[in-house]
Amino acid sequence: MPNTVLTQEGIVAPPTPTPGPDRSPVVGAVMYAAGIAAIGYGTAAFLHRPAILTYAVAAAAAVAVIGSVGGAWHRKHTRPVRDLTVALAPVLRPETPTGMVRASRRRHGVPTKIVIRYPATWDERDTKARDTVRQIVATRLGGTVVATWQPPKRRVVCRIEVTPGSSDIIDRGATPETTSDDSAEQTRLRGRATSVVHSIMGATATVTPTFDGDTLTRVDVAYATTTRDLSRQFRNRALMQLDSKLPGEWRDVWQFEKDRVYFELRPPFPSNVRFPLMHKMKKSELPYAVAEDHSIVSWKLGSKDPHCLVIGPTGSGKTVFIRNLVVAARLLGIPVVLCDPKMTEYLDFEDMDGVQVVCDPHEIAYAITAAHNEMMGRYDLIKRRVAKKDSFSQILFILDEFFIFKEQIDEIWAEMKSQDKTLKGREHPCMSKWKRMVVLARTARIHMIVGIQRPDAAFLTGLARDSFRKRVSLDRATPEAARMMWGDSYTGTDLPSIQGRAITSTADGAQEVQVLRLLTPSDDSDYDGEDKATWETLVDRMQVQSEAYAKAHPGVDLLGFLGSLRSDRPSRGTGPAVLEQLAPPVEPAGGEDVELSERDQDHQSTADPAPHGSYESVGVYELEPGSTVLIDGEPVEITDMHFGDDDGAEWVEVDYVTSDGTEGTERLGLDDVLDARV
């Protein structure tokens, strides 16, 4: 057992290792050469062969030269690791420093990735201790360090971005940045800001702080030309470090063409901002949040952002967000289908004109089918040139807690199949209609909103990814969730845990917002006097809008396509019989019986899936990455799908890989049918 010492805390720990002497490689090479020469001399004298001495001297000289050069190179190559080992040993206190630090990647001789192993007695949960290790690595290797701690393996992996000159110590004289007018606090913050920026941008960066009294409000930085500033990851890391090292919350503005950036103190973020009664509503724009500059953020309904995906755990404000969209839609005269599998979230909308609240899973399935039929009827009118796209009123179709409904309808379908063996298919028929709506509803001016509690590949891959372009993520995200939602592992991970605080997609990228406060009587104790005044005013305005529409269009119900859901609704929970009572009206021309294109007719008559397993014909909108389909009679696996249109002609591009690894792409029409493996 290695020697141990008793610390002041009474914990037995190994002593700090003492590094060995750093000898010159020339000395060792000369010693080896001298040994070879001595052996040659002795052998020549013993054998009476003087020629051996000549060879021995030549070999000794070669060993001396090669050993000196090779030793010098090796010494230079391993010096960063040795120096880092010496610097970290007193902090980590390993039993032996040998092998504690290992460089696994280098660039121009400088380590860019190192692995540091630490003993079990060292506490990696100590934030200050971890920061000390990272600072030592950054100081010794001269660069920005990202440390990934792996407690099960008792090691930390450090990735280093080295900036030329960042390890140099530049003496600028007696603190020229300070002025005689600086207070003690200003001097401290000036030095702190300079130190933090230099650790990020390198010691050559020029730092100019700005103060309001003793409060640091802005930091201007001029840095050496580099390509690192073009990396979103680098910029996010720079802002996160500044945000954590300096008081207050900060935002960054980069000026790439000038090699400059300034960080400014964020103003207090607005909170508890109620739905703006004085806001002038604009056509097809649904206000739902306020930005940090107090401007109203809206969702503009259209083909660019046709559908909305909102993600948030319980209590994050997802329900309030959806309420804002419902109210905004009704103020604009847009009818709303509001599906709520949890049954209690939208009670105050149940008797509202222009809003149909649906809670029973059977009725939700019916509502999906009816909306799908309405969509296909509109498509038929557009195809026959009887109407144009903008001839129809917009419809908002909301399905909150999608996966709760999915679980409910799967159970219903399993029960129906057990009672009727003639029923086929993996999913309830309404789910295929739902998938078709995700792709096609934009053209029919039906806009869908889906609420889920966490990101899911079902909405963030394939065609759904291109359809749910409007995204809102409430509450703090994990790096994995951020990558799925926003394409990086940083956006939203530092979001304050404030109800209603969210990251939303905008024309300028992901943006932090505060969802408008819109509470209703069912919120009980949280519903205060101001909430009551706001809600009653909005209800009155929505009623005025409904009455004006009814007067201008007598007898017209914009939600009439829902059929019997609009009148004499059966009691909830009556089982599969509800579907029979609520059977959708006769499907309009252009619905499920749309005439097949020549391509689809040819496909149905020639495709023979039997040699490749069990297949069934599905619409292209039902496919997703990972599906196996037949293309030109051969089974292929879909790797990705993209939606697009050319001059109004909509298409789906399918990327696939064959069984022998060959990659390919196939462009299909939205009405195309393929054979998919069951």
Amino acid at residue number 108: H
What size, in residues, is the chain?
678
392: its two tokens: 């129809």
CA–CA distance, 442 with 325 (Å, rounded to integer): 17
HEC assignment per residue over 371-391: HHHHHHHHHHHHHCCCCCHHH
574 contacts: CB under 8 Å, gap ≥ 6: 362, 581
Q: Cβ distance 203 to 170 under 8 Å?
A: yes
Q: Is 142 annotated as a binding residue?
A: no
Q: Is 313 annotated as a binding residue?
A: yes
Q: Is 247 annotated as a binding residue?
A: no
**Which candidate, 561, 605, 140, places its Cα nearest to that of 369?**
561
**Which candidate, 295, 323, 328, 315, places its Cα nearest to that of 500?**
315
Q: Is 312 annotated as a binding residue?
A: yes
Tell how strand 355-358 and strand 649-658 pair up. unpaired
Which H helix or E strand runs over 663?
strand 663-669
Q: Is 215 annotated as a binding residue?
A: no
Cα atoms in the 13 Å half-sphere on the side-chain side of 89: 19
CA–CA distance, 478 with 484 (Å, rounded to integer): 10
Q: Is 314 annotated as a binding residue?
A: yes
Distance of CA 154 to the CA centre of its chain: 29
Q: Is 319 annotated as a binding residue?
A: yes
CA–CA distance, 329 with 333 (Å, rounded to integer): 6
* DSSP-assigned beta bridge partners for residue 229: none
Tell how strand 101-107 and strand 12-13 pair up. unpaired
Q: Is 70 annotated as a binding residue?
A: no
DSSP letters of 212-258? ETTEEEEEEEE----SGGG-HHHHHHHHHHHHHHSSS-EEEEEEGGG
Q: Which residues are annotated as a binding site for ATP?
A: 312-319
Q: Which residues are annotated as a binding site?
A: 312-319
